[in-house]
Structures are given as structure tokens and as C-alpha cells.
Amino acid sequence: MKNNLKPPVAAIRPKNLTIHNHTRTDNYYWLREKHNPEVIAYLEAENAYTEAMTAHTADLRDKLYEEMVGRIQETDDTVPARKGDYFYYSRTEEGKQYRIYCRKHGNLDAPEEILLDMNIFGDQHDYVVLGIYEISPDHNLLAYGLDTSGAETYTIRVKNLATGDLLDDVIEQAAGSAEWGDDNTLYYTTEDDAKRADKLWRHTLGAQQADDTLIIHEPDALYRVFPHKTRDERYLMVKLYGIETQETQFIDLAQPNGALVPIQPRIAGMRYTVDHRDGLFYIVTNADESPNNKVVTVSADNPAKANWRDWLPHRDDVKLDAIDLFAGHMALTERANGLRQLRIFDFDSTETHTISFPEPVYTVTVNRNPEYNTTLLRFTYMSLTTPDSVYDYDMDSRQRELKKRKPVLGGYEPDDYQSERIFATAPDGKQVPISIVYRKGARDNGTVPLHLYGYGSYGYTIDPTFNSNRLSLLDRGVIFAIAHVRGSQVMGRQWYDEGKFLSKKNTFTDFIACAEHLIANRYTTPQQMTMEGRSAGGLLMGAVLNMTPHLFKGAVAGVPFVDVVTTMLDESIPLTVGEFDEWGNPKDKTYYDYMLSYSPYDNVEAKDYHNILVTAGLNDPRVQYWEPAKWVAKLRTLKTDDNVLIMKMHMGAGHFSSSGRYDYLKDVAFDYAFILDMLVLAHRKY
């Protein structure tokens, strides 16, 4: 990659930040001034520099984009899901950016009803995301919420599905959740100034938003409000949740004007989720020293914790992620040996069985399954080599039917690729899983280019899923690997606990151990390896860049959370207070000192760094745009190498890049072109 152009230089305007008798000087704090024309000009100059620095990959980007589009079936539809007398699905049309949401009445041969065509909104806005899509219980109304900036704030409208007309009801500044009541009232949430969903409202159709009834206000900034129905649709559950502590209250939808009833008031460190069947609440909880969760039951008439009774005990070697209740069965989503599994319990026979899967490395997810009175469980199975495969599984007969496997055009053959799971040894002796996929034959000549992906926060696990875009790397001889570092829950809740708070550095050293293991076992070399992470995974990238300046050839840091200390001290920023339970509160000097020791922005030094691509969104509510902007500015000032450092700022989007499916593929092609350029593949035919 050519790097003889001069990058834009951000002005140095020192600002001293003092706490705990310690002062940090932030030379680029002024970049937070979003409405300052000088800030916008600087960001636009960064984009112009990036475009100039990557001009030589334009043909490669075009080719990658064409490949990715060429693998998808552009005109396609989802497997219809039955709810009552209707079959609901969505579909795409060739050349159109967005989904079309549809249904058929009675059977699949019935005429199609188009409920919502997102392409209409896509023609009106540069960015549009559907955040709320809820059909009323009588199937006559659709409540939908759109975000047209990337700020993840939604405007809700209600459509009469019989006439196609919009009702006069407009709900502004809504958060991303809503549910219908039995009487066609609409429950929805709104946010405070820090974009925390703190209020639940009841809206009566035809009324003004100003007249809506406030159901609950959660004043504690550690908690958010989220409404959801039980699967049998008997109760509206109102979840008040933080990262470490959760509480649930409920409304009997047969008595919608009744008061909220608490199940169990919050207890510090106790988490629980609730569903209902036949008069009993089934609760998944970590209560009573059950870090991997257990299931308890309690009467809906008297649900306090004192009355909870163990139904499925805690297991040290299996983590229970969730349950899905049906009239006659329960589906349990569990994780054992780092892999997801599905177990089925039959309430009549009290027998339990586990659904088998054919590959040693895979993942499986339970679909929405809107019908309660059914023996069919719909799930999606995939692996690093098997595309998304939707099955209907009869929980009585134990027979499965493949309803659809996602088409991959262009002659894709799963047998042409090899997947593996290996383990690296962390500095403290823990065995860290690595999922790997490559085209067969890629390793025949020894070490090859490798791209290592990581995340490792909030207990979120990057599972070994299929991605047809990834074939553009694999078919060029690149190995793709996922480091399942601590901070996720791939090996149970303890795996998460050992990657947060004052143990956060385990996430970084686990990732480094994975990279070193791949090198030691001749998968790749430092000059042939790139790395990638997004959001909190961008924090991982920033920390590893500071810790190992010679272990990788390049890095992609997407919307990176890199200014940890300053952000966690600013309670006006969205997410900050609620994440004290993830990172700690730096007002406590112990946490301040620990955060300061790894915060990527605070630890940039005058030394060589890898080649780096940073992406960001100006309207991002999760990671504010100024974090990557400040980080890049500081790196430019201090780094001592001539390696590439570029930033691509989406000026009209948020945390998740472009919203249209074709525009999103152009973003992926840009990232992949950078990766391939770094992996010194220029001598090959791209």
C-alpha cells in the first residue's frame, strides 16, 4: 500500500483531566465538538486521505464486491413462520437494498400481502433501519419503528393491514422495543438523555403521545427497561436489567390496567429471566451460587424468591443460556465444551433428549417460534463450512425437516473447505479455543496468510458461523480464525468473569496467546497475519497494538472503544453508567488505575505500530465517533513508523455501518481489500 501522501493533522489543544490527584493531558479532547465545523472538516479530510491512500485497491474492491453479490441469491425469501391463520415471511428482490415484509392467509398458496416495503423508506433516506416490527394479536395492525440516522432512536407508526392506511398515531423518540396488549394498546419504551431505555408507556390508539400512560420509570442509571410477552401471551414481562443484576415485574394482559407485580425485587448480583406455562413461572437464574444458571419454578400467584423451587439444578460443566416454553415441551439452549446444544423436555412423559448435530464445530440458534401450541421447534444450524440451515424439529417424533439452506451461488462446495478447533495456552495455563477455517490445500506449502478475529466482552460469544463473504479471503488462500478469548461465555460464566473488571487484561493476553500458538504451529507468521475486532473488540485491537507491535502485519479496528478512562468518567455519554458493571467505575481509584493501565488511547507511545484501518460512524450512540478520531490523531503524532494508518468515518451512519445490503457489502469489500493488501497478496491475481 502506497503511503507517500501526507495525512491530515489534528490541532493539539491540551486539556487537563484530573481525578484521584492524577492529571492526564488530552491533546485532542476538542474533537468531541460534533457541531464545530473544524471537527467536521478534519473528519472529511481523514476520509479524503483514506480514499487517496486506498485508490490502488479500487479494482480489488470492485472485484470483491462483485464476488460477494455473486454469491447471494438476490431475489430470495425467508421460511414462512405460522402465527394463527397467517404465514409471515420477508423477502428480497434483485437490485433492491432492503427487505420486503409479507404474509399469506390460510396457506402458502394464498395471495401475498405486502405489509412493509423497506425500499420505499430507503429511497427517502440515506440510512434506514427497522428496529420495531410487531403484529397486533388480531393480525389487523402493524407497529413499526424506523431509525433514519444511525442513532438507534425510532419513530413508531401504526399501519392498518386491512386498508393499508397509516393511523394518525406517531410515537417519537422511542427506544427499540414495543409490544401489543390484548386490547390493541401498545406498550413502548423511551430513553433518557444518555440513551438509556428508562420508561415504559402504554399508548391507546387514537390518542396523542403526550397523553400516554407511564407504566414504570427506572431512575437507576445502571438499569434499562425491556418489555416482552411470555410465549403463551398471558403476561407482559417488564425486565429491569443491568449487566450484573436483573429484576422482572409483570402485567396480566387479561387485566391491562392492573398494577405491575414484581416477581422478585432486585438482589445485587442476581439475574433471572421468566417465562410462563400452565400457571407456573419458569425462571432461568444464577441465584444461590449457580453461575451457569439453573431453572426454578414458582406459582404465578405468589412468585417471590422464597417460593422458588429447583426444577433443573446448576451444573458446573454446562451453561444454560435460555429456555423456550411450548404447551407440551421445553427447549433448552445450553453450552457444553464450548459448543451450543439443544435439549428437549417433554412435560407429559418427563423424558429429556438432546438433538444431535453432524459436525464437530458448529453453532445452533432457536428461532422465534411464534406458535405456542405446537410440537415443532424451528432452529437454525450452521458451521464455518455449512450455510445457515433452517430446520423444523418435531419434539415428539424427534424427526427433523430441512426447510431451507441459505443458497450460496457461484459453485460453492462445503467439502472444499476444512474447519478445525484447536486450543492455545494462556499465560495462566487456561486453554483458549480457536476456531479455524481454510480452503483445503491452503496449508500444503507450510505457513500461509491468516486473519484472526476477536471480541471478548459482555459475555458475548463469537460462535463459528457461516459467512459467504468470507470466501473471498479463503479462496485467496487466507486462513480465517476466531480467538474465543475470555470475556465471552464460550466455556461458561467463569470464562466471562475472568475477562472483565480487574481481570480484563486476560482478554488481551488470551488473544496474544492464540496468535503466538498459530505462529508456533506453523499456521502463519507475524508478517502474514492480520487481526480484527469491532466495538469492544476494537478495544481488544487497541490494547494488542500497544502490547505487541511486531506480532501482526495489520489490524482492522471497527468502531473501536479505545478511550476507556475518559468515557467511563463521563456519565453524560450513552452506555457509560450502565457499563460500570462491565468495566468498573473509575471513580474508584482501584478501577481507575487498572483501566488506565490498558486503555488504548492512554497508552499510545512513541514506537512502531502495525498497519491500521479504523472505521467509525459519526452518529454512533454506542462508541462515540471521537474515540477513534482522537486515537488516530494521537497515533499519527507519536508513532515512529511509516506504516499505514487510515480512518474511514461514516458521516451519516452509526455503529453498524451502512444500512442497505449492497452498501454494506461495499463496506466489507473495503475492509477485505485492506486485509489482502496487508497480507502481501499484491503479487497474486486478486
pLDDT at res. 1: 44
Closest CA to 280 of 307, 253, 241: 307
Q: In this structure, are 575 and 471 located in the same domain? A: yes
- Residue 152 pLDDT > 50, yes or no? yes
Is residue 436 domain-shared with residue 561, that is, in the same domain?
yes
Per the structure, the complete domain to which residue 340 belongs is given by 315-407
508/680 Cα distance (integer angstroms):
26
359, 390, 407 — which closes off a domain?
Answer: 407
What is the sign of the dihedral through the CA atoms of 311, 317, 322 and 324? negative
Name the packing angle between helices 37-53 and 626-638 (round to 10°). Answer: 60
Give the end of a domain, one of 378, 407, 436: 407
pLDDT of residue 396: 98
Known catalytic residues?
Answer: 535, 620, 655
- Look up residue 330 and give its DSSP letter: E
Determine the Cα–Cα distance for residues 294 and 656; give it in Å rounded to an integer: 34
CA distance 449 to 437: 12
DSSP state string for 374-419: -SEEEEEEE-SSS--EEEEEETTT--EEEEEE---TTT--GGGEEE
Closest CA to 641 of 675, 677, 607, 614: 607
User: Of the residues 407, 422, 452, which one is the last residue of a structural domain?
Assistant: 407
Residues 6+ apart with CB under 8 A from 364: 340, 341, 342, 355, 357, 379, 380, 381, 382
Cα angle, residue 155 at apex, residues 151 and 161 outer, rounded to 5°: 140
506 assigned to some structural domain: yes
Does one domain contain both 524 and 492? yes
pLDDT band at 445 (very low <50, low <70, confident <90, very high): confident
- For residue 295, being part of any structural domain is answered with no
| Contact indicator for 104, 86 with CB cutoff of 8 Å | yes
Max Cα distance, the chain (Å): 73
Residue type for position 502: L
* 535, 615 contact by CB (below 8 A): no
Average pLDDT score, the chain: 96
Q: Checking DSSP bridges between strand 113-117 and strand 129-135, what pairing results, if any?
A: unpaired
**pLDDT above 90 (res 446):** no
Are 455 and 512 in the same domain?
A: yes
Say which residue the cell 418489555 belongs to. Answer: 227
* In a shared domain, residues 395 and 425: no
Closest CA to 575 of 455, 460, 458: 458
Residue in the block written with cell 460469544: 461
For the residues 261-281, what does the mean pLDDT come to? 97
Residues in the chain: 686
pLDDT of residue 4: 66
Residues facing 119 on adjacent strands: none
What type of residue sits at position 87? F
Task: Grade residue 115 by pLDDT with cuts at 50, 70 and 90.
Answer: very high
- Percentage with pLDDT > 70 across the chain: 98
Mean pLDDT of 360-383: 97
Same domain? For 536 and 651 the reply is yes
Radius of gyration for the chain, computed over Cα atoms and rounded to the nearest angstrom? 25
- Cα gap 317→494, rounded to integer Å: 11
Residue 681 pLDDT more than 80?
Answer: no
Residue 619 lies in a domain: yes
Residue 627 lies in a domain: yes
Same domain, 520 and 501: yes
The CATH number given to whatever domain includes residue 611 is 3.40.50.1820
Amino acid at 264: Q
Residue holding cell 424468591?
Answer: 305
CB 156 within 8 A of CB 142: no
At 220, the amino acid letter reads D
> 470 and 606: one domain?
yes
Q: Same domain for 321 and 359?
A: yes
Instruction: Write the DSSP symbol of residue 177.
Output: E
Specify whether 464 is located in the same domain as 328. no
pLDDT given for residue 3 in this prediction: 52
pLDDT at 562: 98
In the structure, what pLDDT confidence band is assigned to residue 682 with cuts at 50, 70 and 90?
A: very low
Q: Give residue-wise pLDDT tens across range 17-41.
A: 999 999 999 999 999 999 999 999 9
CB neighbour list of residue 2: distance below 8 Å, 6 or more residues apart: 53, 56
Number of folded domains in the chain? 2
Contact 556, 674 (CB under 8 A): yes
Residue 229: C-alpha distances to residues 88, 187, 263 (Å) = 19, 11, 15
Is residue 685 predicted with pLDDT exceeding 50? Answer: no
| Domain presence at residue 435 | yes
Percent of the chain, pLDDT > 90? 95
- List pLDDT tens digits, range 287-326: 999 999 999 999 999 999 999 999 999 999 999 999 999 9
Spatial distance between the Cα atoms of 516 and 85, rounded to a whole number of angstroms? 56
One domain, residues 403 and 417: no
Q: What is the mean pLDDT of residues 566-586?
A: 95
For residue 589, give the H/E element and its range.
Answer: helix 589-598
Residue 218 grid cell? 427506572
Model confidence at 373: pLDDT above 70: yes
CA distance 317 to 10: 52
Confidence of residue 447 (pLDDT cuts 50, 70, 90): confident
515 in a structural domain: yes
Query: What per-residue confidence (pLDDT) applies to 467?
Result: 98
Show the cell assigned to 278.
Answer: 400452565
Asked if residue 555 has pLDDT above 90, the reply is yes
- pLDDT at 680 (0 to 100): 66
Residues near 667 by beta carbon (within 8 Å), at least 6 away in sequence: 615, 657, 658
- Residue 258's pLDDT is 82
Mean pLDDT, residues 460-465 taken together: 97
Cβ neighbours of residue 66 under 8 Å, at least 6 residues apart?
none
376 lies in the same domain as 438: no
Task: Report if residue 577 sits inside a domain.
Answer: yes
The pLDDT assigned to 242 comes to: 97
Residue 310 inside a domain? The answer is: no
Amino acid 575: pLDDT: 86
